[in-house]
């Protein structure tokens, strides 16, 4: 609101810096549109198989401690899965901001401001489309929706690795998770308290649970996939579902369309 009031007063007083800012936006919009066009050209012949996770650069889990870290996972080839939102954003930045700049030069401040607002609205719409494309990679919700109809109240649910790597699984299933090799970072100090719940499983404890009579679902994040594969038994392990590079295994033969590990 304060920014809007400041811009309104600057336009009423015909401040010179408003035109400078509009010019800077036009230049920035052209640069961003150019980068997006190059990315689309590089990925023009790429065929997407599955979701976008196959086109992203995988990193260690410690690399995702900051909120925008997933931005670094993008590769030029990943734009093959982002063609519609990228093209829409490029059009908004190039034509929206350049038209606003032209209107500002013609002393039509209201039209220039409206044009800028429309361009930003189109960009936000494109960003929302892109977020949907990233959903299988960023969220566990699509994966949980695949397996939730099969989960019974007496089944055990285990997450491989630390809780941060799959915390949304507990949220979407509304179930407590056991953590296999997950005693790390934030949860580690409290896990040694005498009254702490026994949810952290070592390799022998997990294997005893996995080979027992209870049905067990194991959720494996993308960055832990190779490590989990080394520890999972070769027999009696079945792949139930996978989405965004994340996988779910079970220790009992699932439906006919699921594959054996």
The pLDDT tens digits for 43-56 are 888 887 777 777 77
116 shares its domain with 77: yes
Using 50, 70 and 90 to split pLDDT, how confident is the model at 193? confident
56 shares its domain with 154: no
Backbone region of residue 198 per phi and psi (left: phi > 0; alpha: psi in -120 to 50; beta: other values): beta
The pLDDT tens digits for 94-134 are 999 999 999 988 888 889 889 989 999 999 999 999 988 88
The residue among 106, 137, 168 that closes a domain is 137
145 shares its domain with 131: no
The residue among 109, 137, 165 that closes a domain is 137
The residue among 107, 122, 137 that closes a domain is 137
Secondary structure class of 30 (helix, strand, coil): helix
21 shares its domain with 114: yes
Tally of structural domains, the chain:
2
163 shares its domain with 123: no
132 shares its domain with 209: no
- In the block, tokens 């998770």 appear at 177
93 shares its domain with 42: yes
The pLDDT tens digits for 143-163 are 899 998 998 989 999 999 888
């Amino acid at each position: 609101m304060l920014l809007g009031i400041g811009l309104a007063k600057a336009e009423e007083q015909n401040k010179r810096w408003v035109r400078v800012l509009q010019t800077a936006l036009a230049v920035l919009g052209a640069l961003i549109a150019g980068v997006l066009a190059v990315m689309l050209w590089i990925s023009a012949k790429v065929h997407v198989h599955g979701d976008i996770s196959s086109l992203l650069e995988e990193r260690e889990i410690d690399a995702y401690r900051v909120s925008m870290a997933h931005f670094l996972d993008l590769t030029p080839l990943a734009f093959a899965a982002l063609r519609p939102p990228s093209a829409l954003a490029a059009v908004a930045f190039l034509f929206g901001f350049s038209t606003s700049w032209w209107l500002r030069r013609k002393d039509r401040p209201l039209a220039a401001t409206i044009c800028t607002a429309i361009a930003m609205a189109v960009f936000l719409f494109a960003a929302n489309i892109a977020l949907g494309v990233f959903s299988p990679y960023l969220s566990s919700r699509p994966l949980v929706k695949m397996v939730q109809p099969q989960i019974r109240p007496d089944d055990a649910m285990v997450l491989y690795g630390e809780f941060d790597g799959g915390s949304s699984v507990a949220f979407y299933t509304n179930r407590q998770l056991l953590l296999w090799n997950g005693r790390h970072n934030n949860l580690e100090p409290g896990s040694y308290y005498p009254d702490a719940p026994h949810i952290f499983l070592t390799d022998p404890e997990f294997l005893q649970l996995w080979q027992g009579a209870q049905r067990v679902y194991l959720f494996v994040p993308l960055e832990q996939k190779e490590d989990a594969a080394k520890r999972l038994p070769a027999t009696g392990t079945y792949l139930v579902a996978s989405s965004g590079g994340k996988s779910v295994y079970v220790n009992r033969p699932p439906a006919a369309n699921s594959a054996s590990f």
